[in-house]
Amino acid sequence: MSRLDARPRPQIIAARPGYAVAEPIEDNDRIVGIEWELVIAWRIEQRLRELGDEWIESVSAITLQNVSSRAQRHAVIRYPDGNIVTLYDRRLADEKAVIEYFQHEYESDEAARLKRQTKAAEQAKAT
């Protein structure tokens, strides 16, 4: 049996009431607001790192409405006590800060996408 075969199945754990995930609202490439989707459960998965040398865990929120891929990649969670935290444990003061965070991440994603497109075009041109 390989190490991949030994990987445990994802676990689903019910969430305590009050957790929510921010869903950005977009208008013409701008983040203009957010909606909060209530978290009903947490999905915990294990996988091997790319080099295959270490198991890592990931946790994702399960909501009644599916959240966008952007909201998943740049998750912002509101805790039952009102604290708002990003995926990498950065605390945000309020909903305005959440909007600014999503806008910054959106612009970073777009810059990276354009850079990949430019590189691919240059490689295609060179061949």
Neighbours of 105 (CB within 10 A): 18
- Could you tell me which residues are beta bridge partners of residue 65? none
Q: What token pair was written down for 120?
A: 């691919």
pLDDT digits (tens, 9 = 90+) for 11-56: 899 999 999 999 999 898 889 999 999 999 998 888 777 676 777 7
pLDDT at 82 over 90: yes
Contact partners, residue 118, CB within 8 Å, separation at least 6: none
pLDDT at 1 over 50: no
* Strongest mean pLDDT among 45-49, 93-97, 105-109, 121-125: 93-97
In the structure, what pLDDT confidence band is assigned to residue 4 with cuts at 50, 70 and 90? low
**Separation CA 35–CA 39 (nearest Å):** 13
Spans of all domains in the chain: 11-126
Average pLDDT over residues 74-98: 93
Average pLDDT over residues 100-105: 92
Neighbours of 21 (CB within 10 A): 22
